Amino acid sequence: MEAGFEHLAVTNADEAFRALEEDSARFCALITDVRMPGETDGWDLARRARELQPLLPVIYMTGDSEGVGRSGRSQ
C-alpha cells in the first residue's frame, strides 16, 4: 500500500465486474484494459463502474499492440 492506496488486480473483466458489484464504494478509481479478456471487456467494465459511481475516474489503456505500426498509431 503506497500513499494510502490499495489496489486490486484481476485477470479478466468478469472478476472485475464481481468486485465492483460486491462493493463499488471501495474503489476511488479504475484502470482498465479495453481489450481485457472475459465475456465483457474493459469498455463494458468502465460503463458499469460509472453506473455505480458516476464520478469515478477511469483510465483506459491496452497492452494489445496488434494492428499498430511503428508510429504507434493504428493502421
Range of the domain at 57: 13-61
Instruction: Say how many domains are in the chain.
Output: 1
Q: Are 13 and 39 in contact (CB under 8 A)?
A: yes
Domain presence at residue 21:
yes
- Could you tell me the three cell numbers for 54? 458516476
Q: How far apart are CA 7 and CA 30, in angstroms?
A: 10
Q: How far apart are CA 36 and CA 42, in angstroms?
A: 5
What are the 10-residue block averages of pLDDT along the chain, 75 residues in total? 82 91 93 87 93 95 66 49
pTM, full prediction = 0.75
Supply the pLDDT for residue 45.
93
Q: What is the DSSP string of 4-64?
A: TB-----SSHHHHHHHHHH-GGG-S-EEEETT--SSS-HHHHHHHHHHH-TT--EEEE---
